[in-house]
Structure 1
Amino acid sequence: MENNQKSHGITVTRRDLPPAHFSLKIESFSLLRNAGEKYESDVFEAGGYKWRLCLNPSGKSFVSLYLKLEKTRNLRGTWKVNAEFKLFVFDRIKKKYLTVQDKNDPVTLFHEKKTEWGFDLLPLETFRDSSKGYLVKDSCVFGAEVFVIKPSGKHEVLSMIKKPANGFSTLKIPCFSKVDKNSISCKDFTAGGRSWQIKVYPGGYDIGKGNSLSVFLELDRDKLPPGKAIWAEYKLRVLDQHRDKHVENTFRHWFKSSSLRQGSRRFMPLGDLHQVSKGYLLNDTLIVEAVFLTLSVSKHNP
């Protein structure tokens, strides 16, 4: 047999679950060993390709197991198949599967000149010792899992954008003293390809009701794909129209379907808001701003 062993060493683990794709039980292993030839299993399918499990029972020092890509004549042109595979041998005493995989390079390239790869699973002495559980009453079980890697071409690019374009919006509320304190004042704007709203509760909301101005930034649910989240760092501010001593808070939030808005129920006391000398109401007009500092924007192909 040509040298098809992986050369970077192996990782050995144990697990309860049997191999996902194929199992091979051999009875009278000693007679198979005396036959002096490698054994190739029936064909099984995994990842859209056909494979065989190949056993070399007659090695002098090791029991060797290989995975072989079958029916390569049906593959067109200069073909390559990238696969991550594991090989198994069952420990009947511990009721666990010894699992072997390449240590440093689990993705293996199968091609025209290399259709078969595998490992020295166990030293022959260890394998034949019935107290170890691998060969019991001259019977043993091997297996394979094969996961073919086929890039779909789908991708997403996530950008964390500082001071995004159009990431600024102003909401002016004229005749503020005449506004229904139980109403909501809104301003729609677009940033990062998403629709947003500044929402102001003139008489307060929830724990801020009757004592505070409540201010929020809200993401439009209709523009948010299921399971998607948008990160934003932003400022909400109420302008001091006399001295530029604005009241502002910085918020950091992942906007998602279960949490579409973030702000403050107690953004500022109503007493401060209505104090003329503080300058928040000029000509009975309130000005609220939203400014994005950082916003996540994702792009993906169909």
Structure 2
Amino acid sequence: MMVASHDVVCRPMISCTQLTTLSDQTMKGRKAPPSHCLIKIESFSLLSKASVENYTSEAFEAGGYQWTLSIYPTGRARENGYVSVYLNLIISSSKSFPIGLEVNAIVNLFVYNFLHDEYCSYQDTSVRHFHKLQTEWGIPKFMDLLSFDDPSNGYLIEDTCIFGAEILVIKPPSKAEFLTMIDEPVPLSYRWKFNNFSRANLEEYESEFLAGDYKWKLVFYPNGIIEGKGNSISLFLSVDTSSVPPNTKLYVHYILRVKDQIKGQDAETKLCKRYFSSSNPSWGSRTLVPLAKLKDPTKGFLEGNSCIFETEFKVLGLVNSL
């Protein structure tokens, strides 16, 4: 948003990154406009001379609440010599906004710099608290009028200026997790010898065991599942969720393995870390070993029509959800 050429005055130009308030806060500029409110004021000098303390915008929505933005052209609360800018929370009734309800928000108030084509603000990340007894927050010394009125600074060009507001309402998290890591987790393991592989005619087989504080099982699919169906064996480690406390996930590092009973060149998963929970009780591999490789007598996975499955794992921590 640039304007036509204008008269150049002798005072040096002050950019957004140079101009500071009396408290030494530094304004910074950005190209993107504020997302919630813009006020363009033409004939700003007439507003300054009018018998009104401020101009207040119409209501706008941000974060599920209604707000207005107020511009004080000659300052507010005895701050003569400054432009003051304030954000106001609209409370329609005590019923809709009872005492005790608080709106927490990060607020940024902007002024447009025509020369740099930037929206300038102090980019404050402090959380402001709005409630029934405190419905507004603002910056009484937003900018001194001497700097603001000087066209070489770019904020008031041809007696026109633009202000804006952006509000990020901080709401309680919809979900919270607490991870408690276990110091020196105990290594756990289990071995399952599956006999009569050639006679396996069920889709899946299970072998239950107790390890640590929980019940587990290995789940074996002799003809594979999903992308492994018909071409590989699938093997999974599964926790019995009845042995896990409610709203708790187990953070587990595990390895699943099919033993090479001849050369010791086992087939196994690598570096698997997963959360075991009621919604995801099983993790493993759908294509652990190709069926052709498993049945190859030279590979050692199927010896005497039996194969051996192993798992090694550690419960690294517990995750509790609220």
Q: State the TM-score, normalized to the length of structure 2.
A: 0.61
SS in 2 for 1:136: coil
SS in 1 for 2:270: strand
C-alpha deviations, 1:227-266, integer Å up to 9, x for none?
xx9964223345699xxx9958672135699x96378659
C-alpha deviations, 1:81-126, integer Å up to 9, x for none?
21111111112233221133325x2x11123443221223333232
Conserved 8 A contact 1:32-1:57: yes
Conserved 8 A contact 1:169-1:189: no
1:51 corresponds to which of 59, 62, 67: 67
Equivalent positions of 1:1-302 (< 5 A) are: 10=25, 12-35=27-50, 37-59=53-75, 60-71=80-91, 73-74=93-94, 75-103=97-125, 105=126, 107-119=127-139, 120-151=141-172, 154-158=175-179, 169-175=190-196, 178=198, 187=206, 197-198=219-220, 216-217=235-236, 232-237=252-257, 251-253=270-272, 261=285, 265=289, 271=298, 273=300, 285-294=306-315, 298-301=319-322
Specify whether residues 189 and 102 from structure 1 end up closer, same or farther in structure 2 by C-alpha distance, changes over 3 A only. Answer: farther
Aligned to 2:10: none
Unaligned runs of 5+ in 1: 1-6, 221-228, 275-279
Conserved 8 A contact 1:198-1:290: no
Specify whether residues 17 and 147 from structure 1 end up closer, same or farther in structure 2 by C-alpha distance, changes over 3 A only. Answer: same
SS in 2 for 1:81: strand
Instruction: State the AA in 2 paired with 1:39.
Output: Y
SS in 2 for 1:273: coil
SS in 2 for 1:172: strand
Instruction: State the AA in 2 paired with 1:150.
Output: K
Q: Distance in 2 between matches of 1:172 and 1:128?
A: 86
Q: Distance in 2 between matches of 1:11 and 1:254?
A: 46
Conserved 8 A contact 1:198-1:218: no
Instruction: State the AA in 2 paired with 1:123.
Output: D
Instruction: State the AA in 1 paired with 2:33.
Output: P
Shift of the alpha carbon at 1:18? 1.9
Specify whether residues 185 and 111 from structure 1 end up closer, same or farther in structure 2 by C-alpha distance, changes over 3 A only. Answer: closer
Q: State the TM-score, normalized to the length of structure 1.
A: 0.64
C-alpha deviations, 1:116-144, integer Å up to 9, x for none?
21223333232222233211110111111
Aligned to 2:16: none
Shift of the alpha carbon at 1:66? 1.1
**Larger mean Cα displacement after TM superposition, 128-137 or 37-46:** 37-46
**Larger mean Cα displacement after TM superposition, 148-157 or 54-63:** 148-157
Unaligned runs of 5+ in 2: 1-21, 240-248
Number of residue pairs the alignment of both structures matches: 265
SS in 1 for 2:314: strand
Specify whether residues 240 and 41 from structure 1 end up closer, same or farther in structure 2 by C-alpha distance, changes over 3 A only. Answer: closer
Q: Distance in 2 between matches of 1:71 and 1:33?
A: 28
Root-mean-square deviation over aligned CA pairs: 4.8
Conserved 8 A contact 1:64-1:122: yes
